[in-house]
Structure 1
Amino acid sequence: MMKAPETFEVPEQVRDMAEKGVDQARKAYEEFLAAAGEAAAKAEGSAQTMRDGAADLNKKAISATEESMNASFELASKLVKAKDMQEAIELQTKYVQSQMQRFGEVAREFGESATKAAADATKKD
Protein backbone atom coordinates (compact mmCIF):
# COMPACT_ATOMS: atom_id res chain seq x y z
CA MET A 1 0.00 0.00 0.00
CA MET A 2 1.15 3.45 -0.83
CA LYS A 3 1.76 5.82 1.99
CA ALA A 4 -0.03 9.18 1.79
CA PRO A 5 2.34 12.11 1.62
CA GLU A 6 2.76 13.92 4.84
CA THR A 7 1.36 17.40 4.92
CA PHE A 8 3.81 20.11 5.56
CA GLU A 9 2.54 23.15 7.31
CA VAL A 10 4.49 26.37 7.63
CA PRO A 11 4.41 27.60 11.18
CA GLU A 12 2.50 30.82 11.71
CA GLN A 13 5.61 32.63 13.00
CA VAL A 14 7.52 31.78 9.82
CA ARG A 15 4.63 33.07 7.68
CA ASP A 16 4.51 36.29 9.68
CA MET A 17 8.26 36.78 9.27
CA ALA A 18 8.04 36.11 5.54
CA GLU A 19 5.16 38.55 5.11
CA LYS A 20 7.01 41.20 7.08
CA GLY A 21 10.10 40.60 4.93
CA VAL A 22 8.09 41.03 1.75
CA ASP A 23 6.45 44.20 3.11
CA GLN A 24 9.83 45.63 4.11
CA ALA A 25 11.32 44.79 0.70
CA ARG A 26 8.35 46.44 -1.04
CA LYS A 27 8.69 49.55 1.11
CA ALA A 28 12.45 49.73 0.46
CA TYR A 29 11.81 49.35 -3.29
CA GLU A 30 9.20 52.12 -3.25
CA GLU A 31 11.60 54.42 -1.35
CA PHE A 32 14.31 53.60 -3.88
CA LEU A 33 12.00 54.47 -6.78
CA ALA A 34 11.03 57.76 -5.13
CA ALA A 35 14.69 58.68 -4.53
CA ALA A 36 15.63 57.72 -8.09
CA GLY A 37 12.78 59.85 -9.44
CA GLU A 38 13.92 62.84 -7.36
CA ALA A 39 17.52 62.39 -8.50
CA ALA A 40 16.43 62.21 -12.14
CA ALA A 41 14.33 65.36 -11.77
CA LYS A 42 17.23 67.25 -10.18
CA ALA A 43 19.62 66.10 -12.89
CA GLU A 44 17.14 67.16 -15.57
CA GLY A 45 16.73 70.56 -13.93
CA SER A 46 20.50 71.04 -13.72
CA ALA A 47 20.92 69.98 -17.33
CA GLN A 48 18.25 72.46 -18.45
CA THR A 49 19.93 75.21 -16.46
CA MET A 50 23.27 74.40 -18.08
CA ARG A 51 21.64 74.36 -21.54
CA ASP A 52 20.13 77.77 -20.81
CA GLY A 53 23.53 79.04 -19.69
CA ALA A 54 25.18 77.66 -22.81
CA ALA A 55 22.54 79.31 -25.00
CA ASP A 56 23.22 82.62 -23.25
CA LEU A 57 26.96 82.23 -23.87
CA ASN A 58 26.31 81.42 -27.54
CA LYS A 59 24.24 84.58 -27.93
CA LYS A 60 26.98 86.63 -26.28
CA ALA A 61 29.62 85.07 -28.54
CA ILE A 62 27.61 85.79 -31.68
CA SER A 63 26.96 89.35 -30.55
CA ALA A 64 30.65 89.93 -29.76
CA THR A 65 31.68 88.48 -33.11
CA GLU A 66 29.19 90.67 -34.94
CA GLU A 67 30.42 93.72 -33.05
CA SER A 68 34.03 92.88 -33.87
CA MET A 69 33.28 92.34 -37.56
CA ASN A 70 31.42 95.67 -37.76
CA ALA A 71 34.41 97.41 -36.17
CA SER A 72 36.72 95.74 -38.70
CA PHE A 73 34.59 96.91 -41.63
CA GLU A 74 34.46 100.40 -40.17
CA LEU A 75 38.27 100.40 -39.90
CA ALA A 76 38.60 99.20 -43.49
CA SER A 77 36.33 102.03 -44.66
CA LYS A 78 38.38 104.60 -42.74
CA LEU A 79 41.69 103.18 -43.98
CA VAL A 80 40.56 103.47 -47.58
CA LYS A 81 39.90 107.17 -46.96
CA ALA A 82 43.14 107.84 -45.05
CA LYS A 83 45.16 110.72 -46.51
CA ASP A 84 48.56 109.36 -45.57
CA MET A 85 50.42 106.60 -43.76
CA GLN A 86 50.43 108.53 -40.46
CA GLU A 87 46.63 108.70 -40.44
CA ALA A 88 46.40 104.98 -41.34
CA ILE A 89 48.69 104.08 -38.44
CA GLU A 90 46.63 106.23 -36.04
CA LEU A 91 43.41 104.58 -37.20
CA GLN A 92 44.96 101.13 -36.84
CA THR A 93 46.29 101.95 -33.35
CA LYS A 94 42.91 103.22 -32.13
CA TYR A 95 41.25 100.15 -33.61
CA VAL A 96 43.63 97.73 -31.87
CA GLN A 97 43.26 99.55 -28.54
CA SER A 98 39.47 99.52 -28.73
CA GLN A 99 39.41 95.85 -29.78
CA MET A 100 41.70 94.85 -26.91
CA GLN A 101 39.54 96.77 -24.43
CA ARG A 102 36.40 95.15 -25.83
CA PHE A 103 38.03 91.72 -25.76
CA GLY A 104 38.69 92.19 -22.03
CA GLU A 105 35.07 93.19 -21.45
CA VAL A 106 33.76 90.21 -23.42
CA ALA A 107 36.05 87.81 -21.54
CA ARG A 108 34.80 89.21 -18.22
CA GLU A 109 31.15 88.90 -19.35
CA PHE A 110 31.74 85.30 -20.46
CA GLY A 111 33.35 84.45 -17.13
CA GLU A 112 30.46 85.98 -15.21
CA SER A 113 27.89 84.16 -17.33
CA ALA A 114 29.66 80.82 -16.98
CA THR A 115 29.98 81.27 -13.22
CA LYS A 116 26.30 82.19 -12.94
CA ALA A 117 25.22 79.17 -15.02
CA ALA A 118 27.28 76.82 -12.84
CA ALA A 119 25.95 78.41 -9.64
CA ASP A 120 22.36 78.20 -10.89
CA ALA A 121 22.80 74.54 -11.81
CA THR A 122 24.17 73.62 -8.39
CA LYS A 123 21.61 75.79 -6.57
CA LYS A 124 18.72 73.75 -8.01
CA ASP A 125 20.18 70.55 -6.52
Structure 2
Amino acid sequence: MKMQVPAQVKELAESTVEQAEKAFTTFIEAAHKSVDMVPHPATDISKKTLSLTEQNMKTAFDHARNLLHATDLQHFMQIQSDYLKTQFTTAQEQMKQLGGDMMASAKTAASNEKTGYYRRKRDEGKPMPGLT
Protein backbone atom coordinates (compact mmCIF):
# COMPACT_ATOMS: atom_id res chain seq x y z
CA MET A 1 0.00 0.00 0.00
CA LYS A 2 1.62 3.24 -1.19
CA MET A 3 1.61 6.20 1.16
CA GLN A 4 0.57 9.45 -0.44
CA VAL A 5 1.88 12.28 1.69
CA PRO A 6 1.06 15.69 0.28
CA ALA A 7 4.17 17.62 -0.77
CA GLN A 8 3.29 20.50 1.56
CA VAL A 9 3.10 18.19 4.56
CA LYS A 10 6.41 16.58 3.65
CA GLU A 11 8.07 19.99 3.22
CA LEU A 12 6.69 21.14 6.57
CA ALA A 13 7.99 18.00 8.27
CA GLU A 14 11.44 18.40 6.68
CA SER A 15 11.52 22.05 7.74
CA THR A 16 10.54 21.11 11.29
CA VAL A 17 13.32 18.52 11.53
CA GLU A 18 15.81 21.06 10.19
CA GLN A 19 14.71 23.71 12.70
CA ALA A 20 14.90 21.24 15.57
CA GLU A 21 18.39 20.21 14.50
CA LYS A 22 19.54 23.84 14.36
CA ALA A 23 18.10 24.50 17.82
CA PHE A 24 19.85 21.42 19.18
CA THR A 25 23.14 22.50 17.59
CA THR A 26 22.86 25.87 19.33
CA PHE A 27 22.13 24.15 22.63
CA ILE A 28 24.98 21.64 22.34
CA GLU A 29 27.47 24.40 21.45
CA ALA A 30 26.47 26.30 24.60
CA ALA A 31 26.71 23.10 26.63
CA HIS A 32 30.23 22.44 25.35
CA LYS A 33 31.27 25.95 26.42
CA SER A 34 29.81 25.53 29.90
CA VAL A 35 31.48 22.14 30.37
CA ASP A 36 34.84 23.83 30.07
CA MET A 37 34.00 25.59 33.35
CA VAL A 38 33.41 22.30 35.20
CA PRO A 39 36.34 21.24 37.38
CA HIS A 40 38.46 18.29 36.32
CA PRO A 41 37.91 15.21 36.57
CA ALA A 42 34.21 15.79 35.95
CA THR A 43 35.12 17.63 32.75
CA ASP A 44 36.16 14.46 30.94
CA ILE A 45 32.94 12.62 31.76
CA SER A 46 30.85 15.66 30.91
CA LYS A 47 32.57 16.04 27.54
CA LYS A 48 32.11 12.33 26.82
CA THR A 49 28.42 12.53 27.74
CA LEU A 50 27.90 15.56 25.51
CA SER A 51 29.68 13.83 22.65
CA LEU A 52 27.47 10.75 22.99
CA THR A 53 24.36 12.92 23.21
CA GLU A 54 25.42 14.76 20.07
CA GLN A 55 25.94 11.45 18.23
CA ASN A 56 22.56 10.13 19.38
CA MET A 57 20.73 13.26 18.30
CA LYS A 58 22.43 13.29 14.90
CA THR A 59 21.26 9.70 14.46
CA ALA A 60 17.73 10.67 15.56
CA PHE A 61 17.56 13.57 13.09
CA ASP A 62 18.85 11.33 10.29
CA HIS A 63 16.23 8.75 11.27
CA ALA A 64 13.46 11.35 11.12
CA ARG A 65 14.60 12.33 7.62
CA ASN A 66 14.66 8.67 6.55
CA LEU A 67 11.10 8.18 7.79
CA LEU A 68 9.98 11.10 5.64
CA HIS A 69 11.14 9.18 2.58
CA ALA A 70 9.36 5.92 3.37
CA THR A 71 7.39 4.77 0.34
CA ASP A 72 4.88 2.58 2.12
CA LEU A 73 3.95 1.28 5.58
CA GLN A 74 6.25 -1.74 5.29
CA HIS A 75 9.20 0.50 4.36
CA PHE A 76 8.33 2.83 7.25
CA MET A 77 8.23 -0.07 9.71
CA GLN A 78 11.54 -1.45 8.39
CA ILE A 79 13.24 1.93 8.85
CA GLN A 80 11.84 2.14 12.39
CA SER A 81 12.87 -1.42 13.24
CA ASP A 82 16.42 -0.92 11.96
CA TYR A 83 16.73 2.30 13.94
CA LEU A 84 15.55 0.70 17.17
CA LYS A 85 17.94 -2.24 16.80
CA THR A 86 20.86 0.08 16.14
CA GLN A 87 19.96 2.38 19.03
CA PHE A 88 19.65 -0.53 21.46
CA THR A 89 23.14 -1.75 20.56
CA THR A 90 24.52 1.78 20.65
CA ALA A 91 22.99 2.45 24.09
CA GLN A 92 24.59 -0.72 25.49
CA GLU A 93 28.01 0.27 24.14
CA GLN A 94 27.68 3.81 25.43
CA MET A 95 26.70 2.64 28.90
CA LYS A 96 29.78 0.41 29.01
CA GLN A 97 31.99 3.32 27.95
CA LEU A 98 30.51 5.71 30.50
CA GLY A 99 30.62 3.10 33.24
CA GLY A 100 34.31 2.47 32.55
CA ASP A 101 35.07 6.18 32.48
CA MET A 102 33.23 6.76 35.76
CA MET A 103 35.06 3.90 37.44
CA ALA A 104 38.41 5.27 36.27
CA SER A 105 37.54 8.74 37.61
CA ALA A 106 36.43 7.30 40.93
CA LYS A 107 39.68 5.33 41.24
CA THR A 108 41.73 8.43 40.46
CA ALA A 109 39.83 10.49 43.02
CA ALA A 110 40.18 7.78 45.66
CA SER A 111 43.89 7.46 44.96
CA ASN A 112 44.39 11.22 45.17
CA GLU A 113 42.51 11.35 48.46
CA LYS A 114 44.43 8.40 49.85
CA THR A 115 47.80 9.91 49.01
CA GLY A 116 46.82 13.31 50.35
CA TYR A 117 47.37 14.86 46.93
CA TYR A 118 44.68 17.49 47.37
CA ARG A 119 45.70 18.35 50.93
CA ARG A 120 49.32 18.88 49.85
CA LYS A 121 48.28 21.11 46.96
CA ARG A 122 46.03 23.13 49.27
CA ASP A 123 48.77 23.47 51.89
CA GLU A 124 51.23 24.56 49.19
CA GLY A 125 48.74 27.18 48.01
CA LYS A 126 48.66 25.66 44.51
CA PRO A 127 45.60 25.13 42.32
CA MET A 128 43.98 21.77 42.85
CA PRO A 129 42.85 19.99 39.68
CA GLY A 130 39.24 19.03 40.02
CA LEU A 131 38.63 21.45 42.84
CA THR A 132 39.41 24.82 41.29
Fold equivalence (TM over 0.5): yes
> Which of 61, 74, 97 is the matching residue for 2:85?
97
Deviations 1:5-61 (A, max 9, x none): xxxxxxxxxxxxxxxxxxxxxxxxxxxxxxxxxxxxxxxxxxxxxx42311111111
Question: Normalising by structure 2, what TM-score?
Answer: 0.54
2:52 is aligned to 64
- Identify unmatched segments of 5+ residues in structure 1: 1-50
> Which of 62, 71, 76 is the matching residue for 1:83?
71
Matched residue SS, 1:83: coil
Structure number with greater CO (CA < 8 Å, separation at least 6) is: 1
Pair member with larger Rg: 1
Alignment of 1:3-14 (within 5 A): none
For 1:112 and 1:89, locate their aligned partners in 2 and report how far apart those are by CA, in whole Å.
35
> Which of 50, 58, 62 is the matching residue for 1:74?
62
Q: How far is the alpha carbon of 1:123 from its aligned partner?
A: 2.0
For 1:57 and 1:101, locate their aligned partners in 2 and report how far apart those are by CA, in whole Å.
21
> Which of 75, 79, 97 is the matching residue for 1:109?
97
Q: How far is the alpha carbon of 1:118 from its aligned partner?
A: 1.0
For 1:100 and 1:54, locate their aligned partners in 2 and report how far apart those are by CA, in whole Å.
26
How big is the alpha-carbon RMSD for the aligned residues of Structure 1 and Structure 2? 1.1
For 2:74 and 2:86, locate their aligned partners in 1 and report how far apart those are by CA, in whole Å.
18
Q: How far is the alpha carbon of 1:78 from its aligned partner?
A: 0.8
Runs of 4+ displaced beyond 4 Å: none
Alignment pair present for 1:118 and 2:106: yes
For 1:53 and 1:93, locate their aligned partners in 2 and report how far apart those are by CA, in whole Å.
38
Question: Normalising by structure 1, what TM-score?
Answer: 0.57
Figure out how many residues of one structure are paired with residues of the other and give that number: 75
Aligned-pair identity in percent equals 28
For 1:94 and 1:53, locate their aligned partners in 2 and report how far apart those are by CA, in whole Å.
36
Alignment of 1:37-52 (within 5 A): 51-52=39-40
Which structure dedicates a bigger proportion of its chain to helix?
Answer: 1
